[in-house]
Structure 1
């Protein structure tokens, strides 16, 4: 077999596997609604599962199934669903109704909604206002955390600053550097807390006991923690070196794919985020769906192979895009990069991304965005790029 024939064979295999993934995803999406874009206003009424992603996203959709939403600026106004899962930068929720609600973001403002069962929320700044009602339990985490909403079940809250001024049906477990229990607080069970500074207003009512949770002194545990941290640091360094080498090899070996993916990220960043987000959710669901049937197992295994191979390519594509943008900005050179330039700038980009990942919360968010954006670009442009290479 000649080199050209081998290339065409690899391309054919890639196209067939990608087609299998898209076919299976499409079959599953017959029971789903999926939309993405830079700006999106979703107001559907459906019985299907809904996937939404956009830079600016407004959700007023109503579904008897689940809604998944992700956006830089996310407004949920009047939405209804069985389960609502939301992630974004700035998130506001008004006039909504869900059975369960899971939300994570930079600044989350929960203004007005009824949660029939449980709430799980994490944010840099998290406000759960008085008109927001949780009939079940709540698990809340944030930098600055304000809880004015009534919670029917148990409350577990942790943050740098935690302010509670509402009715809690059962026990309240609170951990924070500063904890304030306001005059309208009514705790139906015990108040268990760990805090360097706690203030309980005299008008607050705690039906059970107030229990301070001490942090026990464990020198042996601290010594173990130091060793574990050193081992983790060495592992992280080895992992960084491995990822950097992998990215450089991919940038050198697959220039057509990297250039094509970089171009589409630059031209349609939010579309690639949305596409990658949908694929990252849909592929595992499709795999489980196919594994449930005997005839679908071989196809499921093929999709697993594609999915596993796509993630390293996704990271490499985003690093390559970042490196090329930095090259263009710093050298004013818009000509196609040489092989050494592709390797050098990609390596520098992955090192910068690794340093950013050391920043709590922001680092994880940057890696998530890098992964799903690169995944969207690779899956969108992979077949065409390999055809050009062949």
Structure 2
């Protein structure tokens, strides 16, 4: 575990370096397509009403207006002061929510604060190192993290898993509260749980299954390391360009990946249903898992290039060095993904950034080839 912590710290430092460079290099992006609003950059603020959905990524993202549809936010610091007419999906380091959500909220971060002015009409699923639910939730609450603190009104049940679970004086839970924790729940005498409180035992798989699970996980990790090394060895120039795209356009990569990951399956289904584009739909379905896999590995390659530039800048373009660092960085990325709660968040960010950078570079390569073919 000590080695895993050291690798995690090194990985986070490298990711910070990549994100900082992205913030300096990326001027910003904002566009309306139909009724939907897309934005990315170092500092992003959605301060005008949006008739459709809003998708934004950046170092600091703020929503201060009303969005009629879904809101999807990703970045380091997220502030939700505006309202989401439908669902809210947010992932960041620091997430503060003070607005209203018309349906459900799915939020993850190192620290998540659902403030007193927040109002969620549906259900809330929250994960983070520190989770504070102070606002009102009409449906159920699912919370997982290090410390979970509930001090608002919850119309349904509460299921919490964490090192510490606490109820404040203003907690009013209409349903039952079930929790998993090594420590007993901390309950203020004024807190009310109408459905009762139940402490659940942590579920552990049967003993024979755990070694098999670990073996399978290591086989998968080694396969990813080999794939990263092969990609750098076979296509060093392309992989270096993907790394540069991720470093220079990190927020835009996240935003583009959101669109691609959601739109490709929908487009494939439409093509299959119409019948006319069935071959293209089948091709898209077959290519989709490969895009996800190579996108995740591309994040490891970019991370390896970032670390190599930091520790051995004179060797930053040497294929042999890049191959080794790509494999080691992919290993570090996989190890961090095994850490509860925060590991899953980092893995999602790595996947999104890698897929986005891969699509950006692929589009750039195709665009650069067209003039030569025309000539």
**Residues of 2 paired with 1:301 and 1:73: CA distance?**
39
Q: Is the 8 A contact 2:87 2:101 kept in 1?
A: no
Inter-CA distance 282–53: structure 2 relative to 1 (3 Å threshold): farther
Larger radius of gyration between Structure 1 and Structure 2: 1
CA distance in 2, matches of 1:329, 1:42: 35
Larger RCO (alpha carbons 8 Å, 6+ apart): 2
CA distance in 1, matches of 2:81, 2:112: 14
| TM-score when normalising by structure 1 | 0.77
- 2:183 counterpart of 1:183: no
Contact 1:161 1:179 in 2 (8 A): yes
**d(CA) in 2 for partners of 1:33 and 1:137?**
29
Q: 1:117 aligns with which of 112, 116, 122?
A: 122
Give me the whole-angstrom Cα distance separating, in 2, the residues matched to 1:336 and 1:156.
50
Structure 1 residues 117 and 360, CA, compared in 2 at 3 Å: closer, same or farther? closer
Residues 33/293 of structure 1: CA separation in 2 closer, same or farther (3 Å cut): farther
CA contact (8 A) 1:257 1:378 kept: no
Give 1:41 shift: 0.3
Alignment of 1:79-228 (within 5 A): 79-111=83-115, 112-129=117-134, 132-165=135-168, 166-176=171-181, 177-194=183-200, 215=201, 225-228=206-209
Q: Following TM superposition, by how much is the alpha carbon of 1:292 offset from its aligned partner in structure 2, in angstroms?
A: 4.3
**TM-score, normalized by length of structure 2?**
0.80
CA-to-aligned-CA distance 1:260-295 (integer Å, 9 cap, x gap)? 111122222222223223322332333344444333
Partner of 1:7: none
How many matched pairs?
A: 334
Deviation at 1:30, TM superposition (A): 4.1
- Structure 1: unaligned runs, 5 residues or longer: 1-28, 195-214
Shift of residue 367, structure 1, vs aligned partner: 2.2
Give a deviation string over 1:286-311, Cα, whole Å, max 9, x none: 33444443334333323324433322
1:309 alignment counterpart: 290
Partner residue in 2 for 1:203: none
Aligned to 2:357: 377
Structure having the higher strand fraction is 1
Among 38, 57, 62, which residue is 2:61 paired with? 57
RMSD: 2.7
- CA drift at 1:147: 0.7
Q: Does 1:298 align with 2:279?
A: yes
